[in-house]
Amino acid sequence: MKTEQAQPETGANSFAAMNNRIGRVVAEAVGRTLRDRGVSRMLIALVAAFAFFAIMRPQIFLGPINMQNIMVAAPEVGVIAIAMMLAMLTGGIDLSLVSIANLSAVTMSTLFTMMAASNPATGQSMTVPLVLIGLLVGAACGLLNGLLISLVGITPILATLATMQILNGIAIVWTGGKTLYGAPAALTTFGKTALGPVPMLFIVFILVAIVIATVVRSTALGRKLELQGANPVAARFSGIPSRSVLIASYTIGGTLAGLAGVLFLCRNPTASADYGASYVLLVIVIAVLGGTNPNGGFATVAGVVLATLTLQVVASGFTALRLSPYQYSIAQGVILVVVMILDTINWSRPKLRKPAVTTDSASLQTTQVGSIKKDKEQE
Amino acid sequence: MQLLRKFRGANNEGSLALILLVVVLGMSLLNPVFFSVNTAFSILRAATVPMILALAVLLVIISGGIDVSFPVVAIGSAYTAVTICLKTGFDPGLPAIFGMAIIIGGLLGLVNGFVIAKFRLPTLIVTLGTQGIFFGAMLVYVGTRYYPSLPASMAALSAVNVVELTTGAGRAYLHVLVLLSIAIAIAIWAVLKFTMFGRALYAIGGDVEGARRAGIRVVRTQLLIYVLVGMVAAIGGVAYVVMSRSANPQDLVGGELDIIAAVVLGGASIFGGRGSVLGTVLGVLLIQVINNSLLLVGVPSAWLRAAVGLLLILGVGVQAVSARRNSQRIHTVDDAVEAAGPELEKVS
């Protein structure tokens, strides 16, 4: 009924097209429901959120500007969320990702300003090396995390909490707490260009998602990451080199965070130590909503991409409805808690009967591990 | 050896105290200005609010959880209480304001505890969600206004000092709320040490399933933990508002990881089952002393964050390495006898 009322405002064609699209999406969602919990529920949430705001405020929400805004804003959060997903896949967490992204952006901006000061032309011509340096900063920070976690043996949450403080501190000292201006024009132009209706930034995001999805799904490294997260002890005794797997995981995550720093600069030629401080917790929310198991072992990139889009749709929908960002903060929390609760309700029945069995197998496992350890020691 | 082990304490409190002592001594030698009553009082004053919040977090961490919503609970309940007083123009007096904030904090904690205990969800994720909900709800339904002046009774409290001394370097004040943080520390220490609830916290943190089979009511205890955390956090929030002499709803929020870092530095295990009030107090003090001394030495305040991070890596790294070394050691029966020490000998 409501769609019919809205029809004269937007034109029948676009609505028919949208209906078609929704119809197809729903059919696909239903087909996937049994296969993939994170993907399916996020698909449903995305469609529901989209439909809700499209019906409430079709003129503003469905306008091309809003659609573009969603696609331009999503990549930087989404790329960090994918990095967070990688850390969570191995059963860890990476709180330092946003600090890494900021440090990478600050490094690029500082180097660019330095070069541009001596000769504006060389500054502009150095775009590609600058981007590489940004990624390298990210990779180095990620490697540091990986070493602390795997070699020193610090718990991921504490190691990355510490590196978050350190990297953020370095960025604050470096910038003096101020916002830096200056980025290669090529990056800014890249941030503004679009392929048809789709901004380049969004294409980068999708490419990153595809690459990481392929790595997780069809490479040996991806399988090792999953096994490491599912059961570290079992992984160790099946000969998975947990150290190098963890180092690889955090280094890739750091590199992605460095890429997010590049995206920061593409969207806005400024860099500061405190940019996106609220992202730290937001990306955890996205990763969990996207079906990542916080205890490790299970994650889908598609789910994370959909969760990113859903939250972005809700955010822009709230703006379209003239609701405050604080109300968005409430919505974000409610979505997270409700989704988590719905999950347990679906899963609680088989779980209730399980404990006796699972604990037995767990204790069995530890005794086995113990005996293996003893054997080793006797040797 | 026995003495050394005893001094180190169960959670490295001894080493922490030693580091604290070394820093204080080193600073005093480097800069005689440091070693003064003024410095000590200002460090205590700066440590008051972090201390109360850290003690709240300690309870959660011992139970094997992690709470990131406590700064919002703290400032939310204090700000709400202040707003109610200012909006109605009625000042009910200090105990009533504290009581109001504690009730609000307890209710918010109840929400956390209910979701966590009832649905057995990961605590980090739940409190992330409730953090957003509480924060948004406070700003939408209570207000976003910054109140530069407080109700008369609170404003009066902010000027009360326990000790006022005139030293060579000027007048030194010890704020009355320092006593409050000490009282809370003692209370929580007593709860952890002497009550069944306290032992249940350690048991749940050690192994939930084990605790359940030992007859501990896990759900009820968890509910109680989060209610208690909300209440302690609310006290911290009121203390913060009183000491800053203004109420700003955006304050404190975002500092949750700093407080957690202090608690972990104090020897609490992020996996639960380990942690002590003494360690937490030392951890908070160490961070404050280091902050203060870095400033005195002339290190820019921007480095403070990095310093805390570095401290955390050192503290946790040393523990991780020594834990690994312990696990690699071959344990024999003689070893166990020696470790158990006199108690075992007494038995035999």
pLDDT over 60 (residue B12): yes
Residues B285 and B318 in one domain: no
Look at residue B174 and give its three-state secondary structure.
strand
Q: Distance between CA atoms of B332 and A290, rounded to whole angstroms?
A: 48
Last residue of a domain, one of B298, B321, B339: B298
Q: How many CB atoms lie within 10 A of CB B82?
A: 26
Residues B274 and B337 in one domain: no
- Which pLDDT value is given to residue B306? 85
Residues B279 and B317 in one domain: no
A84 close to A77: Cβ distance less than 8 angstroms: no
Out of A28-42, A219-233, B24-38, pick the least confident.
A28-42
Residues B292 and B310 in one domain: no
Tokens of B34: 């440091």
Q: Which of A329, A352, A373 is the mutation pick for testing B, counting most B CBs within 10 A?
A: A329
Residues B316 and B179 in one domain: no
Q: Are strands A270-271 and A198-199 parallel, antiparallel or unpaired?
A: unpaired
Tokens of B23: 């820093």
Residue of B35 and B229 predicted with greater confidence: B229
pLDDT over 70 (residue B246): yes
pLDDT over 60 (residue B339): no
pLDDT band at B70 (very low <50, low <70, confident <90, very high): very high
Residue-wise over A62-90: b if at least 16 C-beta within 10 A, else e? beeebbebbbbbbbbbbbbbbbbbbbbbb
Cα Rg for chain B, rounded, in angstroms? Answer: 21
Highest mean pLDDT among A7-11, A58-62, A81-85: A81-85
Q: Distance between CA atoms of A50 and A45, rounded to whole angstroms?
A: 8
Residues B35 and B150 in one domain: yes
Mean pLDDT of chain A: 81
A-proximal residues of B, 124-143, CB under 8 Å: 124-126, 128-137, 139-140
Interchain contact B281–A (C-beta under 8 A): no
- Rounded to two decimals, the ipTM of the complex is 0.81
- Which pLDDT value is given to residue B169? 64
Domain count, chain B: 2
Look at residue B334 and give its three-state secondary structure.
helix
Strand partners, A181: A270
The per-residue pLDDT for range B135-151, each reduced to its tens digit, is: 999 999 988 888 888 88
A237 close to A129: Cβ distance less than 8 angstroms: no
Q: Nearest C-alpha of chain A: how many angstroms from B177?
A: 29
Look at the domain A36-348 and name its fold. Answer: ABC transporter involved in vitamin B12 uptake, BtuC (1.10.3470)
Out of A34-43, A350-359, B38-47, pick the least confident.
A350-359
Place of tokens 């020490």: B341
The per-residue pLDDT for range A320-374, each reduced to its tens digit, is: 888 888 888 898 889 888 888 877 765 444 444 444 444 444 444 444 444 444 4
Q: Which of B108, B305, B314, B333 is the mutation pick for testing A, counting most A CBs within 10 A?
A: B305
pTM score > 0.90 for this model? no
CB contact under 8 A, B125 and A340: yes
CATH number, domain of B61, equals 1.10.3470
The per-residue pLDDT for range B89-106, each reduced to its tens digit, is: 888 888 899 999 999 999
B283 close to B265: Cβ distance less than 8 angstroms: yes
pLDDT over 60 (residue B77): yes
Residues B240 and B289 in one domain: yes
Q: Distance between CA atoms of B308 and A158, rounded to whole angstroms?
A: 12
| Closest CA relative to residue B242, chosen from B288, B183, B180, B166 | B180
- Which pLDDT value is given to residue B335? 56
Q: Nearest C-alpha of chain B: how many angstroms from A169?
A: 4
Residues B71 and B191 in one domain: yes
Tokens of B240: 């913060």
Q: Are strands B161-167 and A194-195 parallel, antiparallel or unpaired?
A: unpaired
Assign residue B175 a region: left if phi > 0, alpha if psi is -120 to 50, beta otherwise? beta
